[in-house]
Amino acid sequence: MSELTLERLYHPDGKHLGSLWSGLSGSGKTTAVLSSLQAAGSSKEFGEYHRFVIVDPKTQPNDYDILAEPILDVGKAINSMHNERFTVFWPDLDYVEQEVTELVNAMFRISDAEPKTTFTFVLDEASTLITPTKIPTALKRVAVQGRAKRIKPIFISQRPIVNRWTDANLSNMLLMKTLPVDADTLKKRWGVDFDSAEESLSEPYSFLWFNLETADITVMPPMPLPKPPKKKKKSRVQRFFDRF
């Protein structure tokens, strides 16, 4: 039987496709994503040349900024991807599609120029860019070609995204609490009774793992809470000025 591991979720191993996290506000989606990303970031299984690139259109403090200091400029974010384990990018909402496109295209360029480098690309609020009838060319590219270029796409959305390009290029769907209408949509799409399965989510922050490769649903235990970032030791200069 398949096992849901950090490597299956986040590592571009050439075997499994991307993942979709979905759940209503307050269902524990962010907790699960942050906790698992933290664990993956410290895992030796990902190697020193692996990069986690997170695009967070919410630009919300005390969220992905526990992984890395958010970057507001897309050029600086691209520079960060070369050397930093985590790059957290807060896009300009007026130009989010353009900036995401620049970031994705840069990942493909780096992948070609630096063969050792691999990527996990996380897009939160993915439904702002992906709808049942629309998907930006760059996101279609990463969904379809990401596995060949060692880029693993992770889409996160409050409501499950149903799009033919993403549907065909996902291996995992992680579902927290969803609306009944969404459970009905998913049932029609895959013929699986998500509504009944969701009733088994008795513990807070537990979730369903829908293995799209085998069409199996497994109830998963809650993820541990993400660890707060370690406080950086202040320099002597900073300690001096803190006295005033």
Which CATH class for the 6-241 domain?
A: alpha beta
CB 156 within 8 Å of CB 33: yes
- Average pLDDT value for the chain: 89
pTM for the model: 0.89
Decide: residue 97, CB within 10 A, 0-12 exposed, 13-18 middle, 19+ buried. Answer: middle
Q: Where are the domains of the chain?
A: 6-241
Share of the chain above pLDDT 90, in %: 64
| Closest by Cα among 162, 10, 163 to 86 | 10
CB 18 within 8 Å of CB 46: no
Q: Which residue has the higher pLDDT, 125 or 2?
A: 125
User: Which residue reads 């993942």 in tokens?
Assistant: 19
Local structure of residue 16 (DSSP, 8 states): S
Look at residue 87 and tell me whether its pLDDT is greater than 80.
yes
Mean pLDDT is lowest, of 25-34, 99-108, 168-177, 197-206, for 197-206
Look at residue 236 and tell me whether its pLDDT is greater than 60.
no
User: Which residue reads 């299956």 in tokens?
Assistant: 8
CA-based end-to-end distance of the chain? 62
Across the range 76-82, mean pLDDT stands at: 96
pLDDT tens string 159-191: 898 899 999 999 999 998 888 888 888 888 888
